[in-house]
A and B are shown apart, each in its own frame.
Chain A
């Protein structure tokens, strides 16, 4: 899949970029504006323009978990703990802004809910309701509600990857659960997937470029997505063929240091996250086994209490207490499975999509270098650098800028998310221990009182 996408990006470039530019200029108040042709000065400008949107998006994604209404409240500002001066100042601005501007900051709200099972003769699948509320002009109506299935999300992601190759596209949940035989129609599975899909759309919504993508718009609004899907297929094959020969064959001379660092970082990051995921799963497994034993342990005290006279109450107390502890433990493991693991998984997938974007970038650079080399060979013949090569260089630098911005955004999101995630983990554990503590503390008087009475 990735090779196809890489090759796609190249020839489609001019037309698609023009489209993007137009969209960005007309729709986004601070979208990247044209100016791609004068390469050198354009880049920093574009970056700086993109930047302000970053913290906002970060905070918005932080807010996605909360309900709409909370958005207006300044508690959305909690992630202000970020150290970058740009983000903190912009946050400060944001906090001072009135509701209007706040509304403008977030003018698109998407939620995924209400999964439904469809049983046809050919297949059985789940659809999810995708509700969109927006004030943006591209939306004719203020509110849309459509039903989409996983395949549609997959289509959307492919389209996004196709049309915005320079950007980091959020990952979809895995198509099939990797771990053994899981019922794809079980409530837990559907709910986990719904959450992941919701997260996916929210991340796109929060992205300053991706949220204006036409395919995204179609996905949110079209009554029948299949029409668009077919069109896309035709285009895909046509473009794909013309591109094939360009790709491959060129070796990258040297990856710029910063992208090499990102690549390395991503490798390690994915590795560590994988380990954490395994550990978390193992812990859950151990905890579940522990729970099983506890469930047996408590009743033994009950059995014993039936034998005793004076000791009946204390033993019953201990038994009940162990029962409470096991309930608390069950809650803990449930929380871990529902809240902790999916986030880890998302980030593992994220690192994959990041890597594929990096690869595409490398390809663009390779193309540029190849062209440059070719020109260098013919330099004596033609002294001036052809516009084609210049364009190519421009494209590469554009790519670099987009990627860096996305990367930075992603890093920020990641930090917020993990902070929240790990704090949640700690909180859950603390809650568990507190519940156990309460249970055991309540037993003590039962034991002591009896003894004094004696």
Chain B
């Protein structure tokens, strides 16, 4: 691309040069532009000229689709469709040099591009791709991916996607996008070099379900035995594309000869995080059932390790198997419990290792007997627990309380265990909170926890006011800051909106498909008139001619529906785009929640370090913490040790403060930019949808006119009879 306009080239550089791992390089590129005095409007609220940044210079079109066969990464035969992208530079108005460039891309490459954009521009509502598989179709349309009509509609959709990206004030400057349009070979490698898969902290959009991940891992494990190293690496690479997020965690684990305990633990973490975050997983009962099936092997994988560590023999497996008798109503509750169980075990294990403590054997046995009872509680809660999201705040609080009660029978209170459990619960809460899904809910959990605390305090000698402090601190931290609260509300509303939008559009599309089905029926049955009229006309003398030609008009009427519905499909595609946009919108919201969580975690970490430092300095344990507890348990260190630790801590504190500052800044930037882009998106949405509605209305009008025309003709024929 010698003809590359200099302007975008320069601006694109920073984005590319950003080290991977930095969450917002694209954003900063934009900010830098601002500093450089480049076009002001990098924040996203583009003026028209700015919006057309690229479109003014380059025309983009997806002009052709072609069916191809090739070998994929796993050396398996596959058929796919490739799309021809044509770009034409029109930078000079005098028509000096008009360069046309064209290259072939397949759908998966579009997906890769979009995933990359999603990761690099978390604050932007990234335009969606057209559907991978035809959805919401009425019966006549085939759902075949190779169907010419479908390919054609997808071609239009892909072109639309490219145009949308190209007209986006920020996205259009992206180097990878530019290369996507201009460089046929090596593009994938370039994308992978950016290391965007590794950069992901957690980018939840398009996240595969946790259970799919598990299944994949198992499959990969099995396949591994039959593959040589190179193929295996290829496969992993392929999976990386498929699962950009999770593979970050998975790949290292898979590369090793044996899965170490740490890896398993990591996996456990991941599974839990994913399962909580991936809301979709909680939506469909059927899906959940499959999830459970998936859960069994992973649990069975964990069991030997757990037993090796002399952890109380897990009781999960029989429980999980029992669920196979499908009690769908309660299934989501149960699933959650399984995951919770798993989490508790894994987390407990982690703590065990950390504290190097062993639970008394008899307590383990008691626990083993008690747990199933605890888990049956929510089932008894009945229909309230079986609502779509299944876990009402109260039931979780209730559950937690029950659980802790059972694990901690009065009288046999062991302080270490108490701390352990408490810490465990706090961790649990944090993870729950991280999901954003339970953001509202966790307050109730805390309250439940609080009640439990106060209840316990009466019957136990362990009365630590710091625990209360901890609770207060957690509550205040979460809801303390006004600005955050406002953002929180804004984003919650937005998230709510995108949820609603998604559900209303998908409903609309479903009903529309049915309406189209029926309309098709009405028209096509009229076609039978055509046949009967002409047959009838054969036996009539005077009426014959009129009937014959009227029959002909009926034929015309019946066949006119094909075109009408084809046009309507276009309208459906427009709606579908916004259906997928809703998902993109949600991704931004989720990203915001995650950042918020990160920030809070950092702040919390910092605070606890400060406290530790203080404790060490003054030599008193004033707060409830594990570190403090261990100190207490294992005795005091020497003053030198203490000095050294204080020093280390102080360094960490400094570092943490820096980090917190940058995270704060980052968060604020994110909110600002995200909001700007959301505003832009809203405007675009209003404009687009209005246009779509107008064209829909026009379509309907032309349909009516056609109908009137045909029936008027028919009437004329009848009147001649």
Please report A residues at the B interface, Cβ cutoff 8 Å.
Answer: 83, 265, 268-269, 272, 275-276, 279, 282-283, 286-287, 289-290, 293-294, 296-297, 300-301, 303-304, 307-308, 310-311, 314-315, 318, 321, 415, 418-419, 422-423, 425-427, 429-430, 432-434, 436-437, 440-441, 443-444, 447-448, 450-451, 454
Contacts and interface: CB of A to CB of B under 8 A. Distances in A.
Contacts of B693: 314-315, 318, 443, 447
Nearest to A437: B704
Nearest to B713: A426
A301 B711 contact: no
A279 B711 contact: no
Contacts of B517: 293
User: Is the contact region of chain B dominated by helix, strand, or loop, or is it mixed?
Assistant: helix
A54 B504 CA distance: 64
24 contacts: A272-B535, A275-B532, A279-B528, A282-B525, A283-B525, A286-B521, A289-B518, A293-B518, A300-B508, A303-B504, A303-B507, A304-B501, A307-B497, A318-B696, A418-B543, A422-B714, A423-B715, A423-B718, A426-B718, A429-B707, A434-B708, A440-B704, A447-B693, A451-B687
Nearest to A304: B504
Contacts of B500: 307
Contacts of A437: 701, 704-705, 708
A205 B500 CA distance: 66
Contacts of B707: 429-430, 432-433, 436
Interface in B537-558: 538-539, 542-543, 546, 550
Given A297-B515, A433-B707, A304 B532 contact: no
B622 interface: no
B525 A422 contact: no
A433 B522 CA distance: 14
A321 B694 CA distance: 13
B698 interface: yes
Contacts of A423: 715, 718-719
A432 B526 CA distance: 15
Given A314-B690, A315-B693, A437-B708, A307 B501 contact: yes
Contact of A443 (B501, B519, B546, B697): B697
A279 B536 CA distance: 14
B581 interface: no
Contacts of A294: 515
A358 to B, nearest CB: 16
Contacts of A454: 686-687
B686 A311 contact: yes
Contacts of A311: 686, 689-690
Contact of B539 (A265, A304, A307): A265
A268 B701 contact: no
B718 A272 contact: no
A86 B116 CA distance: 87
Given A423-B718, A443-B697, A293 B686 contact: no
B505 to A, nearest CB: 7
Nearest to B685: A311
Interface string B506-533: 0110011011011101100110110010
B72 interface: no
A441 B701 contact: yes
Given A300-B507, A301-B508, A430-B708, A287 B522 contact: yes
A290 B507 contact: no
A444 to B, nearest CB: 5
Given A269-B536, A297-B508, 12 more contacts: A268-B539, A290-B515, A307-B500, A314-B690, A318-B697, A321-B697, A415-B543, A418-B543, A422-B721, A437-B708, A447-B690, A454-B686
Contacts of B511: 293, 296-297, 300
Contacts of A444: 694, 697-698, 701
User: Is the contact region of chain A dominated by helix, strand, or loop, or is it mixed?
Assistant: helix
Contact of B690 (A422, A430, A450): A450
Contact of B522 (A286, A296, A450): A286
Nearest to A447: B694
A300 B711 CA distance: 31
Given A307-B500, A444-B694, A436 B711 contact: no
B528 to A, nearest CB: 5
B700 interface: yes
B712 interface: yes
Given A293-B518, A294-B515, A318-B693, A279 B508 contact: no
B539 A269 contact: yes
A433 B515 CA distance: 17
Interface in B55-98: none
Given A297-B511, A300-B511, A436 B700 contact: yes
A421 to B, nearest CB: 9
A404 to B, nearest CB: 15
Contacts of A432: 707
Contacts of A448: 694
Contacts of A301: 508
Interface in B357-409: none
A440 B538 CA distance: 40
B712 A426 contact: yes
Given A307-B497, A440-B697, A286 B686 contact: no
B271 to A, nearest CB: 34
A415 B542 contact: yes
Highest count of chain B CB atoms <10 Å: which of A272, A303, A315, A434: A272
B675 to A, nearest CB: 16
A265 to B, nearest CB: 5
A381 B450 CA distance: 130
A294 B511 CA distance: 8
B533 to A, nearest CB: 8
Contacts of A276: 529, 532, 536
Contacts of A268: 536, 538-539
A300 B704 contact: no
B219 to A, nearest CB: 40
Nearest to B508: A300
Contacts of B550: 422
Contacts of A308: 686
Contacts of A447: 690, 693-694, 697
Contacts of B704: 433-434, 436-437, 440
Contacts of A310: 686
Contacts of B514: 293, 296
